[in-house]
Structure 1
Amino acid sequence: MTEWFYGIISIIVVAAIIGITKVIEKAKLEELQGSQKILGIVAILAITGEIIYLSVAFGLLQFALETITSVGVGIILLGVAFQTKLKNAIAGISIAINPKINIKDSIEVENVKGKIVQFGLTKTTIELEDGSKVMIPNVKFDEEIIKITSHKKQKNSNS
């Protein structure tokens, strides 16, 4: 019963602290630029402290730590299992935002020459001179020496 009593009192104290900081901010700091940020920081600190106190007082922290640990282990296992896919996906995002690599550019990687026809999240598709298509894992763009010739330069040189 005393845990509930102290819990309610602590919530009232935190609400009072936040209320007092709002009153001080309105009365004294209203024209001060950034005073809302100060109030926000005080509120976040007070609420975080209250959550930690209540979690410890009512034993909720134990369950939360077990849950966070379980989720963390699961994420690590998935990361290890899908390591290659994750590398390719990150490389794919890097390729997509790189302005130096575009569709229709000529590319040569591991003695394979062709034109880029599609960027995917994990693979880039190139079309060879005979019309066949080859898919290159995006991580190759980070790990291999690749020759890329911009299709814009080719157009200008032909004109």
Structure 2
Amino acid sequence: MAVEDPTAPCGVKFVIEEYPYAADGLLIWSAIKELVEHYYSEPKSVMLDVELQGWWNEIKNKGHPDKKDEPWWPNLIEHTCLNELGCFWSPCSYKLWTISMAGYVLHRPTLMRKLIPQVEELEYKQLLVDPKQMFLSSLPTQFQTTKLLAVQDAVSTHSLDEEYLPQL
């Protein structure tokens, strides 16, 4: 979908020029990447981040138990170790991207109770005065969100006796 281009914003150029979702998403991705780089800017910040260390340990030991003892796995001890990963920012940023864009229903509701008011409508003035309240009043109710979560759980749960092609 994109090729590296150091002259382009965010360092990539899209293969498909008119792709608004990707263009907007890339800006969000870049902001997340900058946040991650800023958050782990101190030399010992990586070693002291218990959640990051647990995540990395789970990737190696549970996600790839057959490869867990390979010498090419970097140890995340200090900030400089992140550079050894090369693309480490990408998995970390990817995780944040997934969580922020679609992983939590309340961040990306599948329905809204109101349309965005038009300039000529009375509610437009309310939107200008208190946009946060206008947004919150548009979100689905707790009951609607609970129903959605139940449906999503039902359609995404694997059966206990499910078999995958490589396992056959």
TM-score of the superposition, structure 2-length normalised?
0.24
Q: Which has the larger radius of gyration?
A: 1
TM-score of the superposition, structure 1-length normalised?
0.24
